[in-house]
Amino acid sequence: MGENGDVGTVSNCHSPCNVTSDNNVGGLVGENLNGIVSNSFWDIETSGQATSDGGTGKNTTEMQRIATFSDAGWNITVVALNETNPAYIWNIVNNVTYPFLSWQP
């Protein structure tokens, strides 16, 4: 996101995307104006961004490990490829995918 305002909250989010812009650029948050950013991560390799005004940068390997997210308190579980577990908000194929929402195909 470009800007997180003073009443904004970013929690349990991640970004594996390439990030480009002319202003307010960061791996996850470009500019945090006293908002809250917690338990959130961005991929420093795929984003092309070494810094962010909120969140924690991880390499791609770390971003595809359940421990990164479960240690941060995410409601996440490991599933097999092409499967989901709707009992959890987030699913991950450990060491293969980034976290995805359990309702995503």
Burial tier of 78 (Cβ tally within 10 Å: 0-12, 13-18, 19+): middle
Summarize pLDDT for 34-81 with one digit per residue, the tens. 888 889 999 999 998 888 878 899 999 999 999 999 999 999 999 999
> Nearest Cα to 93, choosing from 57, 69, 72, 71?
69
Domain ranges of the chain: 1-63, 71-105
pLDDT for res 105: 67
> Is beta strand 56-58 parallel, antiparallel or unpaired with respect to 41-43?
parallel
pLDDT for res 41: 95
Higher-confidence residue of 102 and 7: namely 102
Q: Is 38 left (phi over 0), alpha (psi -120 to 50) or beta?
A: beta
